[in-house]
Amino acid sequence: MALQERGGIGTFGNIATIVVFIIIITIGLWGAISAVRLAPTIFSSISDTFTGTPGIEVSIPSTEVRSGEVFTLSWQDSVHTNGIYTIAYTCTPNVDLQITSNGSSANPLPCDTTFAIPATETSLRLIPILKSGNRASVPISIVYIDNDGKQQTEGKTSLTVIKGSSVVAATTTPKTTSVATKPTTGAAPAPKPTGTPDLAIRLVAMGVIDSQTGMFVQKNVFGSYETVTYKFDVANRGSGRTGSWSFVADLPTNTSQLYQSPMQNPLGPGDHIEFTLNFSAPVSGSVVIHVDPTNAVSESNESNNTLYQSISVVY
């Protein structure tokens, strides 16, 4: 009897061993099948990590550019379709950048602020201004953003600005020369200017008013919920008085708003006045302002009476 009992226990142990072995094989086969199913996803994720999305290739004529000299910043990108590019550069204490185009005056390009460019453009003409020292480096980035506001590609470069042969200022102030004259008794008053006036318009700045600080923040990429603040200046560059005049502004809003100004006071030679327009619910398009649209003022130059400025609304 003792031998029979030991034989029964051995048989049961063998059966249990076989069952455990079958369970182990089953678990191993299930793990192998799961690994095969997940392999494409795993390898695809690894591939994406190593390859990534192609970036924007940014180039400049030289790594060193003299202060005050115009240079062209260009870029290549295979992704751009119908969105916008934005340019931004890091604030550096002694360097400013200005943006210009053929036949137009330079305008300041604020640092640490995105400036929008249509996706059809792949270059910008810039002027670096070195305010102090002999050289300084400026990081510049170009980002492509599609129409729904998502970033797609980015490119970066670094520009070294070196001291130029002459000092170039963003704006110039006309010099006033004083001439000492002997008082003349009974002298007649100086005659009023009798030349021809010339009304000219230029952009001062565009951006928003920060709701927290109340300060003006310059930019040209907006959200549809923001109120755009647009500043421009009208000057009389001619030699005669203008007489009364007005302007109209076509504003890019979802209701296609047209603003007609009241009649403005006459401007003498050299006089100018700055205006601020605020409009809400902006859409991508252009601000178009036309000074003296009815040609009430006879001017020496009618070609500088209109201002076009594109804005982009991406979120």
Q: pLDDT tens across 297-314, in order? A: 999 999 999 999 888 888
Which range of 32-46, 49-63, 141-155 scores highest in mean pLDDT? It is 141-155
pLDDT at position 158 over 60: yes
The token duo for 145 is 């953003």
The model scores a pTM over 0.85: no
Any idea where the domains of the chain sit in the sequence? Answer: 57-162, 199-313
Looking at 183-192, 198-207, 208-217, which range is the least confident one? 183-192
Contact status, residue 94 vs residue 143, Cβ threshold 8 Å: no
Residue with token string 């059809």: 120
pLDDT of residue 165: 45
pLDDT of residue 133: 83
Q: What is the mean pLDDT of residues 267-291?
A: 92
Residue with token string 């609304």: 313
- Closest listed residue to residue 153, CA positions, set 164, 162, 141: 141
Angle at 29 between CA 23 and CA 30, to 5 degrees: 90
pLDDT of residue 212: 82
Q: What is the mean pLDDT of residues 205-216?
A: 86
CATH architecture group of domain 57-162: Sandwich (2.60)
The token duo for 253 is 């809003």
Contact status, residue 278 vs residue 173, Cβ threshold 8 Å: no
CATH of domain 199-313: 2.60.40.10
Q: What is the mean pLDDT of residues 198-227?
A: 89
Taking only the tens place, the pLDDT of each residue in 170-179 is 333 333 233 3
User: What's CA 184's distance to the chain center, in Å?
Assistant: 58
Taking only the tens place, the pLDDT of each residue in 60-92 is 888 788 888 888 888 888 766 667 788 889 888
Q: Is the dihedral of CA 114, 115, 116, 121 positive or negative?
A: negative
Cα–Cα distance, 129 to 252 (Å, whole number): 33
Q: Does the fold of domain 199-313 match that of domain 57-162?
A: yes
Phi, psi of 237, deg, nearest 5:
-95, 0
Contact status, residue 148 vs residue 115, Cβ threshold 8 Å: no
Taking only the tens place, the pLDDT of each residue in 46-59 is 333 333 456 888 88
Task: Write the burial class of residue 153 (CB in 10 Å: 0-12 exposed, 13-18 middle, 19+ buried).
Answer: buried
How do 221-222 and 306-313 pair as beta strands?
parallel
Task: Rounding to the nearest 10 degrees, give the CA dihedral for residues 232, 291, 105, 97.
Answer: 20
**Residue 156, Cβ neighbours under 10 Å: how many?**
12
pLDDT of residue 241: 93
Q: Is the dihedral of CA 195, 199, 205, 209 positive or negative?
A: positive
The token duo for 234 is 């009208």
